[in-house]
Structure 1
Amino acid sequence: MLGGPVEFVYAGLPILTVLVGSVVLYWIRSRFWDARGAKWYTATLLVGGVWMLALAGYVLATDPTRQRQLAVLARTFGILSLVVWSLFLSRYTGTQLHRRRWFRALAALASVSFPVLAVTNGFHGLLYTGWVQASTPFPHTFGVFGPAYAAVVALVAAVNGYAFFVLVRYLLSTPNQSDVRITAVVLAGLSIPVAELLGVAGVFPADGIGHAGYGALPFVTLATVGLFRFSLLDVRPVARNTVIGDLRDPVLVLDGDSRVVDFNRASSRIWSGLETHVGDPFETVCPTLAERLTLPDGEASTSAQVVLSVDGSDRHFSVTVSRTEQATNGVGWYSVLLRDVTELERSRWQLEKQNDRLDQVASTISHDLRNPINVADGNTELLRTMIDDDGIPPERVADAADKLAKTRETHERMEEIIDDVLTIAREGKTVEDTERLSLVAVAREAWGNVGTGDAALTITGDRTLRAERSKLLRIFENLFRNSVEHGSTGSQNSGRSDDSVDHGPAEVTVEVGPTPDGFFVTDDGPGIPESHHENVFEYGYTTTDQGTGLGLSIVRTMAESHGWTVELDDSHDGTRFVFDTSGESRSADARDESAAP
């Protein structure tokens, strides 16, 4: 019979702890049995359950001899549960303390010293010097400890305290752990010694009873929440701080259920707030990446290419997924390694562009030069037929002179084509050395290099461009020449005409200015016919007999060699070319970053 509410609480709390522990054991057995460390944790709960039953039996027993026996049994299994917990912490943190001889010796000594001393206490009296019968708050018998008990407690505290210290050090050194789970595990480890200290301090009403067992209920609750509810066991601890944490490439770790269980600092640059999503499904945390990846079934790795936004810029990543087996249970884990290949992708793109330009060079040489050569051959043949043994008849001198003039013009056109082809072949290679240039300064210099006649230049603003000076000048010169020659009837025949648009008024105004992503060049001439918008940058595009059709192709080639793009803005009156220079800016920033110490 229970003597009152205090005895009811003292007996009921251990029984309640056993019931809660039984539910936890069933839950772990059915859902987490294959999780790493689950069996060690189960052993802790089982040994602790015997401790709680012995403690409840001690409170309920009325025979002093039976109480002494149950008190010794409760103390023995209490010590054993703390030792098993220490072994679990060794397994979890990856320190492998249980494989070290000194730790195994201390753990074994802590486990057997108390029961051995208790059984032999009648011969030496070192563990208990005597027993006291108390009547309040309920009848109970407790022992008066001797010097050996202090030694046993110190030994157990050393084993358990060191293992707990290793746990705290590991949690604090692992930045990706949730504050909630860290707090839960730490409080669980402190609950049992704190309960014992409060009992020794006289906070609880029953003197002499080992109150450590009354910290078992919060221990079971908090440890289970931290370890299983938040999947703390699913985070691999072994060397992750040095092997993964310091890698400059993003790394994600997925469990067998495709949940994100770990990551390194580099991953946080791509996915902010990752620490709040540990344990969440991969497709929820990283939807774009998950959509492109296929997790491997066997030992082979899978790979993919993906574009992700990093600090507001698109970066290209090569992704490799590898599967590993846990040695303890064979459950598959996945490591997702992302390599930033933005510079490699940019080089590949530029190499493709250079190959395209070489193809166009071959096409130009084989086709565009053949036409003027045929014209020259035809005129030469006509001249040959005009000449007889007595020379050219007077009435055909003018005709012969015309043929010679056409031949000379054809040769000049061939020279122009050759110059432009060489420009494309030589200057189209990727720019390596750039400098910071003023848009205003380069535009004005290029304007002075072109015969502009009555045309006017307006510059609406300045910005700094990273470019090779000579190529940027060539871009502006070709565009200015195109605007002046095709936008003014007064100068349409005053030089070569690289590309064609219909001729317009006597004067043209050219405007240059910055845009959020680059700059523009526009004029108020008649513009380019809508039917020609799609092929205006193609090699050989021209609608005049004088043009080579390579002027705007050179503009595009020069732009692409910088990693820029150029487009014709067909929504604007006149002719407007818009350059996007953000590609080169991002690449240059990346090179600066990689070169930084």
Structure 2
Amino acid sequence: MAVQVTLYSWLQALSTALSVGLALVSLAAAWRRPSHRTSLLFFSGYTAFASVWAAGYGLMISSETLPAKILGWQVTDVGAAFVPALWLLFALVYTGRFRRHVRPLSVVLGTVAVGFSTAVVVAPVPTLLRPLGTSVATGPLGTQFVVLQRTFSTPFFAWAIWSHLLVLAGAAVFVRYLQTNRDTYRGQAVLLVTAAAVPVAASLAFFTGVTPHQLNFTSLSFAVSGIVFWVAIRRYRLLDVVPVARESVIEDMRDGFVVVDERWTVVDTNPAARELTPGDGPTVGNRITDALPEAARVLDGETDRTEVTVETDAGRRYLDLSVSKLSGRNDDGTLLVLQDVTERRSTERHYQTLIEHSSDLITLLDADGTIRYESPSVEQVLGYEPGERIGQSAFENIHPEDRGRLAAEFERGVEQPGYTSRAEFRIQHADGSWRVHEGIARNLLHHPDVEGIVVNSRDVTEQKRREREVRAERERLDRFASVVSHDLRNPLTVATGNLELLEPHVDPDGEQFLESVRESHERMDDLIEDALSMAREGRAVDDVESVSLESVARDAWSGVETGDATLDVETSATVDADRSRLVRVFENLFRNAVEH
């Protein structure tokens, strides 16, 4: 086969190389990025068949014989059969338009492309092409080369119109995308539209006879498109960031996504929105209020966010519904986002219930000490109606003697995030009485969900009263011990001394009476000693444990002179008691039982 190398041949080779390079790069990117694989595969296929187109036309323009030129034309049109279809499919997937129709459309466009390419390979002449021979033409640099003279049949022109419509449709998709995304992906979309416009312009120039010698510069335009795509790849990371990776974002997002037009008709939605709402949920073509009547509030402009309760097959759900206008659209499109807050609401209700039924008083203060919130227990604890004290100073009801101390501690805590302080103070009840409270305060002004100082306090008035009673009881026991030690033991000592003085003056018949008196004195001394021990050892019984009555009784029995007496325990009961004291009680009991 005779070969002629011209400037056009080199340009075709460059176009082929660029297209092959783009195809390989995008194919590798599709392998590395499964989430963007569909759009990248369509782009790879588009550039791969563009390289076939450029290679075929390079063969046709570089060969001198008629059979070789017809073969080059066949290869060219095989590539041209698939490029428009793949361009349109890439545009649809890349921008997310008509995503539900991409698969069936792929089947239709693929079938048509395969049919045309089959006709090109099997019966190109005279079905599509009528070769008239070759002629010699002079190029722009004075170089002469052989060109193919031919005419096209009606089926070929029909195919050409079809191809141009597909390419124009793809360009229109990017233009529409450029209109609706003016800022975020404007650079990408402009370059993609430019890349599409160049081959279209070149093809139209060929079919309208503008180009000389029946030369078709469409394949050369792919070199220009390749450069434009390269800029998009390098500058805007076309293959790294797909603007609408809808399969992995919108379709898989947990939040519901609904787009409505100015008549509140649903024009787009995702599976999450249908799962979160009753019945079939919002469906394209129906009004959003049919599935979610509460949406009228946000769409009317009454508010931009509301919470709604819906009954679904999975049970009751709480949804946070927010709305925003879609900027950059020619129409009045509106985006509604439905977020499932059921779990959060359940947790909030749980803690709210705990707070409302707590006997502790929970108060939230501003940085200046103003009450922002007070738990409902304020009615039970202080006698005020819930909400009655909101807006007042927290120090207003504090006892004057405690107010300065608490205010100083409060000022110190405000300056330190996370600061925690404990204090005891007196606060006035609604009935005018003073109640003693113990409280713990923590500075959470820096916490975004709190932004305040949290005070947890409880009424310890009764506890303090009991403590005072215990102290008074101890004082009484101390006084009792003093009385026992002085007022009872001293007379007993005198009586014992007199008994010893009396003993020499008593005849033998009266000694038994002296012994009886002596034993009574000793018993009285033991009783006094026990009473003193009780007073010294504890006053109040605080340290108790579960003890066995049988064990205590047997231990006490072993510590007493019991003579011929025996012990029979017929119980296995246990009691809460101070074991050592209980043992002494049983010892006294057994001693008295044996002696009397």
Structure-1-length-normalised TM-score: 0.44
- Higher radius of gyration, 1 or 2: 2
Structure with the bigger RCO (C-alpha within 8 Å, sep 6+) is 1
